[in-house]
Chains A and B, each alone.
Chain A
Amino acid sequence: MAVSRPLEVPASGVKGRLRWGSPQSSWPAVLTFLAPALLLYAGFTIYPAIRTFYNSVHTIRPRGGEEFVGLANFRELLTTDTVFWKAVANTMVWAVVAPVPDVLVGLLLAVCLYAKVPLARFFRVVWFAPVLLSYVVVGIIWMWVYNYEWGVANLLLRGIGLTAWAHSWLGDPATALWAVMFTHVWKWTGFNMVVCLAALYALPSEILEAAALDNCGWMRKFLFIMIPMMWRTLLNLLILSLIGKMKVFDLVWIMTGGGPLWSTETVSTYVYKRAFEWSTFDLGYPSAVATLWFIVILGLVLGLTVLFRPGDRLEY
């Protein structure tokens, strides 16, 4: 749902935030209130971010050796680094494909609850539960679900006679990325369901009642009334999901570590690997990857904001 800027809450009359007519504030008080947050922000967010930009044009060896290399890291990255491009391709596939099932399944579940299923409250609570689990827990559970011999995915396939389909989902480069994506969708569907349900309840009921009087079936109500009226919310969820996928790390790292054969490598796991796993002894190169990817995400956010969200803001 659109979060309109708090500043736009009517400021006339008695309610609302400070008006421009109110007296000038005292600087000591303002500074006291803001100082802790600004210090933390400066020390643990902005300084490290700037340091990463600095790193990206250097070769950084552990124990202090630094050497300025200009744009050499970026040049290598963009021209010769095939693993990086594989990671970009995987991340883009994920970011483009996954938001659709993410939001669509969430929306369908929300509509089921909205259609007055008995025990709706119970279902809502159970469906939301995966959102609260950590990636470590979710990742390990699903590694077992996908297990070749005794994982439930393969047991079900063998049970319905599709023995030939059973295989090592995470071990096969052709299916590994899709298997991890499925798990990611599983974890986040509940979130989208709750947001869609709230949007459904916010729809003006007269319109839906009028449609019911006109003998409009559920399917048509869904396609021609609910979806168009909820479009704003759905778009927000799609964008939120897309931006989230651009940063995806934990689940991949836990389930496959980027393998097999780079088939699940994402930009984030690649940065981590180059910085802390491979013994390349250079923090500059992964910093260049992180910097480049930050620029891509920033461009994407700005682009989407300009395209779809005049005046409104969304957080990622």
Chain B
Amino acid sequence: MGLARAAKQATLLAIVSLYTVLSGAPVLWVAVMSLRTTSEISADAYALPFPAHWDKYLSVWTTSHYGTYFWNSTVIVVTAVAALTIVGSMAAHGLARYRFRGNRLVYFVLFSAIIFPPQLTIISLFQVLVEYGLFNTRPGLGLVYVAIQLPLTFYILEGFFGQIPQDYFDAAKIDGCSEFGVFWRLTLPIGLPAIATTVILNLIELWNEFLYAVVLITDDEKRTLPLGIMRFMGDKLEDIGMIATGMMIAIIPVIVVYSVCSERMIRGMTASVLK
């Protein structure tokens, strides 16, 4: 009995460690390669990074435009997420707290966009942005980002705001709080956990976004990180070492945030299915 138990425990540990290697090793491998030169890598792709070439980071950052890509990604994503948070929570508050004819219709209309495949809008978004004069501009991409993430953001927030006890709002109204004051002083502070969830979700999704960016941005100096990595890859397919360093520029911020608040991020990314 004891032996069987030990065998079972050993199998379990074997599966678990095997999968840990499978899920973790590829990224570790890239991290190691990011510190090695391409000639070192072609000699042995799996050696450790001694000596470590930290200067490669400086080199991709300055001479390969990764500084610009990083800055573009940061500006576009941060402003889009800020706008999403405001627009999304306003709409969620409007539908969760006000009774009017057509409330559920508006809810359904906003929410239903979630099943639109990107291909349905991408071709005409290209035309539309050209017409609006927003094609190949950072604000244009930012606005599109707000629009594509809006349904899910709105859905999560509306679900949460709808559960805030109505009595709070009645009391605030009796105390003479304005319509906007109710939103600002009640819904937002109480809804903070849900808002944090959507902020995390949107930050990750947009930081990684590729399809819309590749269609809507053409100038090199406006490229976001995923586009920058792809362009670099296209130009220098054989320069494995430098490509790895460039990828780490995109990975490191995610890993840093993940190591600080992993639980929050896991909850944020699964918020669409789990409450």
A173 to B: closest C-beta gap in Å: 21
CA A112 – CA B90 in complex, angstroms?
A: 42
Cβ contact within 8 Å between B121 and A297: no
Known: A133-B251, A247-B118. A190 touches B93 (CB 8 A): no
Known: A141-B30, A301-B115. A315 touches B120 (CB 8 A): no
Known: A30-B94, A135-B210, A195-B270. A41 touches B100 (CB 8 A): no
Interface of A is mostly: helix
Residue from A113, A137, A191, A250 in contact with B270 in the complex, judged by beta carbons closer than 8 Å: A191
Q: A1-B273, A18-B166, A36-B90 are in contact. List 20 more A-B contacts (CB 8 A).
A: A3-B159, A36-B86, A37-B150, A38-B91, A44-B147, A45-B113, A48-B124, A60-B127, A109-B16, A129-B24, A131-B269, A136-B208, A150-B42, A247-B117, A249-B119, A272-B215, A298-B115, A301-B115, A315-B155, A316-B114
Contacts of A33 in B (CB 8 A): 90-91, 93-94, 98, 183
Cβ contact within 8 Å between A45 and B121: yes
Top 8 closest pairs, chain A to chain B, by CB: A33-B94, A134-B208, A44-B147, A37-B91, A51-B124, A25-B98, A29-B179, A48-B124
Known: A6-B162, A247-B119. A44 touches B144 (CB 8 A): yes
B156 to A: closest C-beta gap in Å: 9
Contacts of A174 in B (CB 8 A): none
Contacts of A52 in B (CB 8 A): 120-121, 123-124
Within 8 A of A (CB), among B93-148: 93-100, 106, 109-111, 113-128, 143-144, 146-148
CA A43 – CA B19 in complex, angstroms?
A: 45
B163 in the interface (beta carbon within 8 A):
yes
Cβ contact within 8 Å between B124 and A49: yes
Within 8 A of B (CB), among A121-144: 123-137, 140-142, 144
B78 in the interface (beta carbon within 8 A):
no
Cβ contact within 8 Å between A37 and B179: no
**Selected A-B contacts with CB under 8 Å, 8 pairs:** A16-B162, A40-B87, A41-B113, A124-B266, A126-B24, A134-B225, A137-B250, A150-B42
A294 to B: closest C-beta gap in Å: 5
Residue of B nearest to A243 (CB): B115
A223 to B: closest C-beta gap in Å: 16
Within 8 A of A (CB), among B230-275: 230, 233, 240, 243, 247, 250-251, 254-255, 258, 262, 265-266, 269-270, 272-275
Cβ contact within 8 Å between A22 and B12: no
Cβ contact within 8 Å between A287 and B16: no
A42 to B: closest C-beta gap in Å: 10
**Residues of B in contact, count (CB < 8 Å):** 100
Q: Tell which of A7-15, A73-81, A92-100, A161-169 binds the partner.
A: A7-15
B66 in the interface (beta carbon within 8 A):
no
A22 to B: closest C-beta gap in Å: 6
CA A20 – CA B96 in complex, angstroms?
A: 13
CA A15 – CA B169 in complex, angstroms?
A: 11
**Residues of A in contact, count (CB < 8 Å):** 105
B204 in the interface (beta carbon within 8 A):
yes
Cβ contact within 8 Å between B179 and A26: yes
CA A44 – CA B147 in complex, angstroms?
A: 6
B229 in the interface (beta carbon within 8 A):
yes
Residue of A nearest to B144 (CB): A44
Contacts of B16 in A (CB 8 A): 109, 112-113, 117, 123
Residue of B nearest to A27 (CB): B100
CA A268 – CA B116 in complex, angstroms?
A: 13
Residue of B nearest to A276 (CB): B215
Cβ contact within 8 Å between A127 and B98: no
Cβ contact within 8 Å between B115 and A135: no
Contacts of A17 in B (CB 8 A): 96-97, 162-163, 166
B172 in the interface (beta carbon within 8 A):
no
